[in-house]
Amino acid sequence: MGLRIGYGIDFHQLVTGRDLFIGGVKIPHDKGALGHSDADVLLHAICDALLGAACLGDIGVHFPDTSSEFKNIDSRILLAKTYDLITKEGYTIVNIDSTLCLEAPKIKPFVPAMQETIAGILHISIKDISIKATTTETMGFVGRKEGLVAHACCLLES
């Protein structure tokens, strides 16, 4: 049995006039994340963690932001494509641990829906997906509510 650890991180600016998607769930908020796709910071970090653990590069290699194919794409599709890439290499997911850094909105009420969404795409149990959140205590761009960050770590088994 081979185990592989992967780590992913993603950042997105918050702007008015965009919807906010985190973990595949639309979250009511006065701002949304800016990006080429739907800018789902959590799913992007998870994609990077999975791809990194499988030594398959990163999200930009497989889904470049210069491609019209991925313009405004639902990041759940990117996660499903990432799942296909790692399973073709013979990997299964053991677990995912993630942390969101944002001042607002509070995401705790949405975590179960995020876990269900991610579990469904990755064919794993919601008990194998940890989603936590923290603030930066009003420091930096996150503290000023200008952006948000997601960190994700995964364990793969071959």
- Structural domain spans, the chain: 3-157
> pTM for this structure?
0.97
**146 in Cβ contact with 32 (< 8 Å):** no
* Per-residue pLDDT reduced to its tens digit, 76-102: 999 999 999 999 999 999 999 999 999
The token pair that represents 115 in the structure block: 């876990």
The token pair that represents 157 in the structure block: 């088994």
Q: How large a percentage of the chain has pLDDT more than 70?
A: 99
Residue 35 has a pLDDT of 95
Q: Give dist(CA 71, CA 110) in Å, integer.
A: 26
* Per-residue pLDDT reduced to its tens digit, 46-83: 999 999 999 999 999 999 989 899 999 999 999 999 99
Residue 103 has a pLDDT of 97
* Per-residue pLDDT reduced to its tens digit, 15-49: 999 999 999 999 999 999 999 999 999 999 999 99
Residue bearing tokens 């993630």:
98
Find out if CATH 3.30.1330.50 is the number for domain 3-157.
yes
Rounded to an integer, the average pLDDT of 114-141 is: 98
**31 in Cβ contact with 121 (< 8 Å):** no
Mean pLDDT (the chain) is 97
Which residue pairs, CB below 8 angstroms and at least 24 apart, start in 28-33? 28/105, 29/104, 29/105, 31/145, 33/147, 33/148
How would residue 1 be classed by pLDDT, with cut points 50, 70 and 90? low
